[in-house]
Amino acid sequence: MISRERQAVPGGHVCWTYDDPESLADQAERHLAASLAAGERFWYITPQPSDQVAERLRALPDFAAAARRGAAAVVPLVATYSPEHVVDPATQVAAYAAATDEALAAGHTGLRVVAEATELVRTPAKLDVFTRYEHQIDRYMRTRPFAAMCAYHRPTLGDRAVTELACMHPQTNVEGLLFRLYAVAPEDGHAALAGELDMSNHELFRTALDRADLRPTDGELVLSAADLRFLDHRALTHLAEYARQRGATAVLRTPRSSAARLVDLLELPGVRVEVTP
Amino acid sequence: MRTGAAAGHHGYYHEAIRYASDDELLAVVVPFLLGGAEAGEPTFVALGERTGGLVRSALPAGAPVQFLSGGDVYARPAGAIRSYRQLLAEQLAAGAGQIRIVGEMPPASFGATWDWWARYESAINHAYDEFPLWSMCAYDTRITPPWVMADVARTHPRFATADGRHVPSPTWTPPAEYLRENRPIVADPAQAQPPAVELVDPTAAEARAAVRKADHGQVPVDEVEDLVVAVSEIVTNALRHGRPPVRLRVWAGDDRILATVSDGGEGPGDPFCGLLPASDGTPGGLGVWITYQSCNHVTWQRGDDGFVLRLTAGNTYVG
């Protein structure tokens, strides 16, 4: 039951895409309020510390008061990510881990950031590295009191890039997104799949799995699929192949028995479906 | 080394029995089975309960003949092909020179679902041809409708007779030709109502949602999920390989859900599509095969205005 609840509310890692900076400012204010109420430290991270969102936050009495006691800050993007805006996933996760520890040491309950990260994904190469990082940081968030809203400017990036980013988050405001892959607590397996997997997003699914770079343990790659409404034979076949390349059997935990029947029917080696209640 | 009438034959030796009395059935089946047993050939019976019992009591005690549950084998054509092919492959691997089977379809197959069983009888001429199989399909002429008997004559190369002969069927039609024909489709009464959902050029996700919408608990959950899988595959095929418009209609019957998927194209080129997994990489072949495995009835029709598959979950209308 606890495990199920945790899956239903995967610790705050939101992909927020916006057209209008005002709507981002609204979200940032909302997160600030929630963060302060929860006793967290709050950062708004932006490439331009004087942008519209930063100015709106600074004008808030709550923000100003929190800033004076070290509970809130506008942090320039270069201070948290590398100056070239190319992320090294491991280094960046370590940086947020250190920042989370500092927040805890300073008496806060955790760290929450709203990060305007459009600059970091503006080329296909940057996008590829950053989506890999997104999954690594997602995994960190499942075990430590760190939460993030990653904000992306849709008109700058286009729908394809936005989709590739959004599907690596447990929560998003992107409409029509058919599936998501995100981290789970270690005892719940290696990752969760949610939504629907079919021909229309098969390439996206393959890309997401590659970027998540899942590492099996004890010869098994366990995927929690409580919120996966559908997957087709292509997705199952690919999961088996992905696990095989990593020397493991794919284990899919799903309440839907149709996946188990498909595996039997296709006599798919390398994948086991565990039908959960 | 093959024995009996099939001696010297390569591949599948497929016969039908037309019997009008129990004695006639036994006159063909008993020597067929005993001949197999004597030759040390794996010999199987997949008859119904009554005829199976009849044959069992006519055989000497301890005759090495195995009885399969006919009703389970003949639940769905693609499933029957799959399980028979597994059985045949096992026997061949164990060194069988010939395998003998006598089978009989449940009379419920002779109604509104006969179209896919007729396709089965034709397709197996190809599907079992890689095995040294001699099989007889028994039809009781007292209860089998004449149009079914006409299809039996077209799908079986020869008949085994009560007086021990094996005579060619004059109307025998090779499967590649027979399977390209349209079989008569019996309208399901549930289709007399307007469809609960009708979508033009839906995405596969929209098509799946339409099936779920027609689920009012009238069909077991597993069967609804299998229909969702099937409709998703067929709509995906139609969008990728067919011609627009792709049209999905879903009917919610009292004890079943029906879906038709049509497109303006000609349908799969492979005449065995659905009954056998596509071995030649026919586009979409695997999806159609999965559909045939997971729905309780699938009809197949090609017309001037395109290609249409009708899929049924729940209690199939048998007419």
CA proximity to B261, closest of B185, B314, B315, B207 = B207
Nearest to A258 among B203, B205, B226 (CB): B226
Query: For residue B285, what is the DSSP state?
Result: H
Does this model's pTM top 0.95? My answer is no
In this predicted complex, what is the ipTM?
A: 0.89
Helices (H), chain A: 2-8, 21-37, 52-58, 61-68, 77-80, 89-105, 124-141, 154-166, 202-212, 233-245, 258-266
Residue A129 to residues A16, A133, A142, A149, A154, Cα–Cα distance (Å): 19, 6, 21, 18, 19
Report pLDDT for B280: 59
B232 touches chain A (CB under 8 A): yes
B297 touches chain A (CB under 8 A): no
Distance, CA of A160 to CA of A154 (rounded, Å): 10
How far does the CA of residue A251 sit from the closest CA of chain B (Å)? 20
Cα torsion angle, A244, A245, A246, A252, sign = negative
Residue-wise pLDDT tens digits, B249-283: 999 999 999 999 999 999 998 999 999 987 656 67
Report pLDDT for A11: 47
Region for A10 from its dihedrals, namely left if φ exceeds 0, alpha if ψ lies in -120 to 50, beta otherwise: beta
Strands B66-67, A41-46: parallel, antiparallel or unpaired by DSSP? unpaired
Q: Does the pLDDT at position A85 exceed 90?
A: no
Neighbours of B24 (CB within 10 A): 18
Distance, CA of B67 to CA of B289 (rounded, Å): 28
Set out the domains of chain B in order of their start, with CATH numbers.
4-178 (3.40.50.300), 189-314 (3.30.565.10)
The residue type found at A54 is A
CB contact under 8 A, A258 and B225: yes
Residues in chain B: 319
Q: Does the pLDDT at position A3 exceed 50?
A: no
Residue-wise pLDDT tens digits, A18-58: 999 999 999 999 999 999 999 999 999 999 989 999 999 99
H or E element that contains B138: strand B133-140
Mean pLDDT (whole number) for B205-221: 97
Nearest-Cα residue of chain B relative to residue A263 = B290
Residue-wise pLDDT tens digits, B151-190: 999 999 999 999 999 999 999 999 999 999 999 999 999 9
Report pLDDT for A10: 35
Residues in chain A: 277
B208 touches chain A (CB under 8 A): yes
| Chain A residues within an 8 Å CB radius of B287 | 233
